[in-house]
Structure 1
């Protein structure tokens, strides 16, 4: 059997192709059952995210054509429309690829942790569909082990590399307990959504989302259990905010020095932490002059992010070394599986020899033989039968100068050289 995978990702295919090959979560179970019906496949799993779709199989061929044909038929798309964007991995190459994907080494953002959870979901869905067997199931388990070791032994995911995460981490450094703070987010785009998600994950006490389009603010606020307000309402809510993070497409500042100064008076000069992620800036530069404001711009955070990316790249080099070791571990397990048939056959042969010798010994006892005589003959007969075939093979190996067989015999039988 051959481990085989085909896939596309953010590097190889535009979003127009990626979305056509995507498998929604609610159809994945049925698709897996259908894929498992392909005659060449014994095991299968599908990983489908916004940035990649990959099909993992244990197959009786290394030719990916059958897999491409299945995808084309399932998605009702001409194979030539997506084949130029495909990559293929088999056996050792696939093992390494899965390990690198799970560790975030193949991600758009180096070291991002979400992909590991997505791979675990793919594994769980395949388990529930019954499309995983011993080998591919073990490969997934080893993949998770490799990812855990990389996360534990390197700094691949310890440093923020998005401005949203960097802003939240900076807020955590300033406020010891985010659960007691109120955050005001200005905007409703991707950066603000990501910021809201990070703040929620860190247990922010209260969330206010302001946007020019109230409906967008409301949709985001409902998602994160916050309060939605219009931009016009900012002056009446600004004093409530311990944390202000802004990212809009406005060409003019949204918060001026005067409005922030008024909010500080209402707060009795309780400090405010402000991050302006917009270009052009949403918060007037003069706000930084106010004593009780800690104002950071996207450039301030970018320096940190650049340093953290360097840190992640160094960690990625360490991760590759760990992956090398984990690949070796899995290959050793695979090789051990190939020996199971030999071990089983050898055991069956030995048990058959034992049973035959035992029946003869029981017969001798029934015919009046003394226990001592019967045991002695049993031991002698059993020893001769067990060593006869190996002895013959070793003599033949010596006659044919098969020194490798003789060396293997020393190792297998743990013989002391004389």
Structure 2
């Protein structure tokens, strides 16, 4: 078995590249099934968020070039478009990378907890698509356990730092008093929920939650004393918003330049602060060219996030030590899997010998042999059968001067040095 990881993230690829290779949640079942059907792919998990697209695979050999070819073909991109931005890990490096991702050590916001939920969603998608087997299943469960250990044993999650927190912090810099402002949040996922809570805690005057599913918008709005609308109602409410934060899974822009221009006209050129956290982007890039619009995408939040990281860096060093030991632990488990077929073969062989010896003993009893004699014959016969081949191989190793086999036999049978 060969474990590999291919990916791009916020550190290696700009947003316009990441959005080319992002997987919509509705695409994942088809994508997982298609990749799983590729030659030599035994197991696969696909993680796709606004900051990263990663493919985790178990292969039956080390020829993994087919994964990149499939990725370009699936997204209808020219070959090697992704090459300058790609990272590729194998074996223990692939394990270490997944553990670091699960613990938030590879995130734009160091130690952020949302990625763990996204990993669990990716795991569930693969489970439902029947592309998850023993090895990747065990690895992801191990990653979840390590992330929990890191959260418990370090202070990695103590500071309220996230992309949503960074967006609200930037809004506070532009609007000194959020108590006079109206915020329009587009989406109802984890990031938007965090942004809503941060805005609510900072005394925002009014919150409007827009989502494709109005029930989800209502559920979030009730928690933050907000007002829910559907996406189709956005044009009617955009002019009310001083702050717009958007994070949906839409493959097409939610807000275009024309709609924003009309809203500005209604506002009599009163500025709007916009943060587009989505990948692919929810707000057309041309919107940022308009006067009185302050548009930031997810990559623009890095500087704000950096200011809030220092308290987590010492904890991250502790987390790396935990991860190093847990990589070794999982690699040891993988090595034991190589021994399983050998152990099974030995046991099957021994059971076959046992059955043959038992049949012979039962026949001897039927022929009138004394039970004590039949039992003694059974023990002698089974012992000879079990030890015949190992004894022959060890004698041969003496002729071949193969001391390694003799040493291995001493360890295998726990034989102490004879004095």
Cα deviation 1:32-59 (Å, max 9, x = unaligned): 1111111121111110000000111112
Does residue 342 of structure 1 match 2:342? yes
Alignment match, 2:131: 131
Paired residue total: 333
How much does 1:400 deviate? Answer: 3.0
Alignment match, 2:409: 409
Q: 1:188–1:407: structure 2 CA closer, same or farther, 3 Å change rule?
A: same
Cα deviation 1:318-339 (Å, max 9, x = unaligned): 1111111111111111111110
Alignment of structure 1 residues 107-118 onto 2, 5 Å: 107-118=107-118
Which secondary structure does the structure 2 equivalent of 1:42 belong to? strand
How much does 1:154 deviate? Answer: 0.9
Does residue 92 of structure 1 match 2:92? yes
How much does 1:5 deviate? Answer: 1.8
Does residue 383 of structure 1 match 2:361? no
Could you tell me which of 209, 221, 242 is aligned with 1:224? 221
Alignment match, 2:34: 34
Contact 1:208 1:227 in 2 (8 A): no
User: Runs ≥4 in structure 1, deviation > 6 angstroms?
Assistant: 166-169, 193-196, 202-207, 228-232
Cα distance in 2, alignment partners of residues 379 and 310 from structure 1? 69
Contact 1:394 1:405 in 2 (8 A): yes
Cα distance in 2, alignment partners of residues 95 and 362 from structure 1? 53
Alignment match, 2:372: 372
Contact 1:210 1:230 in 2 (8 A): no
Q: 1:196–1:61: structure 2 CA closer, same or farther, 3 Å change rule?
A: closer
Cα distance in 1, alignment partners of residues 50 and 201 from structure 2? 31
How much does 1:200 deviate? Answer: 6.1
Q: 1:118–1:218: structure 2 CA closer, same or farther, 3 Å change rule?
A: closer
What are the ranges of 5 or more consecutive residues in structure 2 without an aligned counterpart? 170-177, 212-216, 228-236, 243-268, 272-303
How much does 1:92 deviate? Answer: 1.3
Cα distance in 1, alignment partners of residues 321 and 202 from structure 2? 43
Q: 1:166–1:69: structure 2 CA closer, same or farther, 3 Å change rule?
A: closer
What are the ranges of 5 or more consecutive residues in structure 1 without an aligned counterpart? 170-182, 212-216, 235-248, 252-301
Cα distance in 2, alignment partners of residues 47 and 164 from structure 1? 20
Cα distance in 1, alignment partners of residues 316 and 86 from structure 2? 25
How much does 1:28 deviate? Answer: 0.8
Q: 1:184–1:62: structure 2 CA closer, same or farther, 3 Å change rule?
A: farther
Alignment match, 1:188: 183
Q: 1:348–1:184: structure 2 CA closer, same or farther, 3 Å change rule?
A: same
Contact 1:210 1:231 in 2 (8 A): no
Which secondary structure does the structure 1 equivalent of 2:183 belong to? coil
* TM-score for the superposition, normalised by structure 2: 0.70
Cα deviation 1:170-220 (Å, max 9, x = unaligned): xxxxxxxxxxxxx94735378xx9998448669979976449xxxxx5649
Contact 1:10 1:108 in 2 (8 A): yes
Q: 1:230–1:73: structure 2 CA closer, same or farther, 3 Å change rule?
A: closer
How much does 1:30 deviate? Answer: 1.5
Cα distance in 1, alignment partners of residues 356 and 162 from structure 2? 72
Q: 1:227–1:135: structure 2 CA closer, same or farther, 3 Å change rule?
A: closer
Cα distance in 2, alignment partners of residues 333 and 153 from structure 1? 23
Q: 1:63–1:341: structure 2 CA closer, same or farther, 3 Å change rule?
A: closer
Contact 2:164 2:195 in 1 (8 A): no
Which secondary structure does the structure 1 equivalent of 2:22 belong to? coil
Cα distance in 1, alignment partners of residues 163 and 13 from structure 2? 26
Which secondary structure does the structure 1 equivalent of 2:80 belong to? helix
